[in-house]
Amino acid sequence: MLGLVKVAAILILGVTRLIWAGSFFGYAKTDGAVAVDKFDPETECDARDPSKCIKAVPKGRGVEVCRKGLVVTSSRVVAIADIHGDWKQFEQALLTGSLVDPQDPYKWIGGDAVLVQTGDVLDRGPDSLRIFQILEHLRPQARKAGGCIVQTLGNHELMNLVDDLRYADAAETAQFGGLPMRRAAMLPDHWLGAYLRNLPLAISIVQKSPENDFNFTTIACHAGIGPRVVKEYSSVEQINGVVERLFKDADMHTMQRLAYRHTLLLGQGPLWTRIYADENDQRACGQLSQVLGVLGAQRMIVGHTVQITGRPTIRCGGRLIMADTGMSSFYGGGLSLVELRSDGTVEREFKLAYF
């Protein structure tokens, strides 16, 4: 009897801790997502009880699909762009987004929210390894609460994978245990090297409105997908599939050869392009419209190009969000994050700083 009472008390406590209120946009929220103890990484289901599958969460109740290149959700979506090894700024961004506990940044309190990070964690700052570690720590907690954490590859991750360490921070390298250990961490048999090789170039974020059947799709990537890419690859799934096959178990020399030869990894590819930083709105937005049409999406969010205003830039009638505000201390820019809404609107949270 005492055992049953104890189990009941634990269940009540667990449900209570899933309820949270408030956000930095001023509305109250109750997390109604399904909580489970253990997920299979492929099916995203509780291996002991298939009925507790995220994909089976009813419409209007959180994340339905959480995969590295695809998210389907009716919950809030928060995006954070280039971090460049600045743990303090990243922590503040997570706190501002009500995603982690103010007393314990390793504890997810975001419920069924989706966190999207668009690459460039590495280089220029000292704490990149710690940032990757906290993302790994938070990811299963978010999944368990019905949420999702996804990340794209950035050009600085690719540079490290091919041993281009021009922008490595000395303190950052020391955190790895020195230069040989840093290089070893980029190999396919190290957890970090394997993780980076498995990151997608782009993510389709499908937001379902609880009020109607309209789905609003945003493409998240580091620098942007341009017309040259969609002439050859007509979907995010195809883009990611090609890179996944190329990178799988690839050693350093293979990675170097790919980085300097393959269309998806060159200057006009999703890791490097700056076509959407073009000051000519007609030209930039025209190219964006073409790409979104091919990919069947309504919006794109990118990092890579620092916005010297210190705030995320919204262009092309809200169809393009440039979210890199140089928030790393290396740049001295403003802390920022973006909430993507299912009705196509955007909420920006930022603290201005001057370069």
Per DSSP, 163 falls in state T
- CA–CA distance, 300 with 236 (Å, rounded to integer): 12
- Fill in the amino acid letter for 78: V
Strand 299-302's sheet: what is its strand order? Answer: 63-67, 70-73, 202-208, 215-221, 299-302, 320-322, 313-315
The conformational region for residue 34 under phi > 0 = left, psi -120 to 50 = alpha, else beta, is beta
Task: State the CATH number of the domain containing residue 108.
Answer: 3.60.21.10
Query: Which H or E element spans position 238?
Result: helix 236-247
Q: Taking Cα atoms as reference points, which of 154, 151, 141 lies closest to residue 80?
A: 151
Burial 298-333 (b: 16+ CB within 10 A, else e): bbbbbbbbbbeebbbbbbbeebbbbbbbbbbbbbeb
* Helix/strand/coil for 154: coil
CA gap 116, 340 in Å, rounded: 10
Residue with tokens 């969000």: 321
How many structural domains compose the chain? Answer: 1
Q: Is residue 45 part of a domain?
A: no
Query: What's the confidence (pLDDT) of residue 243?
Result: 97
The residues, any chain, with a CB within 8 Å of residue 262's CB and separated by 6 or more, are 246, 269
Place of tokens 């020195």: 178
What are the tokens at 48?
């002991």
Residue 137, pLDDT above cutoff 50: yes
pLDDT, position 308:
87
Question: Is residue 6 over pLDDT 90?
Answer: no
Higher pLDDT, 46 or 33: 46
Residue 208 near residue 342, CB atoms below 8 Å: yes
What is the tens place of the pLDDT at every residue in 212-231?
Answer: 778 999 999 999 999 999 99
Is 123 inside a domain boundary? yes
**344 assigned to some structural domain:** yes
Question: What distances in angstroms separate CA 354 from CA 71, 121, 311, one per listed residue?
Answer: 35, 21, 11
Average pLDDT, the chain: 84
Cα(27)–Cα(349) distance, integer angstroms:
15
6 part of a folded domain: no
DSSP string, 268-306: TSTTT--GGG-S-HHHHHHHHHHHHHHHT-SEEEE-SS-
Could you tell me the CA-to-CA distances from 229 to 163, 280, 294 in Å, in that order?
25, 21, 10
CA proximity to 340, closest of 300, 303, 284, 305: 300
Please give the average per-residue pLDDT across 106-112, as a whole number: 97
Full residue range of the structural domain in which residue 207 is found: 64-351
> Does residue 5 sit within a domain?
no
140, part of any domain: yes
- pLDDT-wise least confident of 209-213, 246-250, 306-310: 209-213
Q: How far is it, in rounded angstroms, from Cα 206 to Cα 72? A: 5
Give the pair of three-digit tokens for residue 285: 């937005």
* Whole-structure pTM value: 0.82
264: left (phi over 0), alpha (psi -120 to 50) or beta: alpha
pLDDT in tens, 257-275: 999 999 999 999 999 999 9
What's the Rg (C-alpha) of the chain? 20
Greater model confidence, 210 or 70: 70
User: What is the Cα–Cα distance from 342 to 296, expressed in whole angstroms?
Assistant: 15
Tokens of 274: 């700056």
Contact residues for 228 (Cβ-Cβ < 8 A; gap 6+): 263, 268
Residue at 211 is within a domain: yes
* pLDDT exceeds cutoff 80 at 12: no
The pLDDT value recorded for residue 351 is 64
Decide if 219 is inside a domain.
Answer: yes
pLDDT of 288 > 90? The answer is yes
Tokens at 51, concatenated: 């009925």
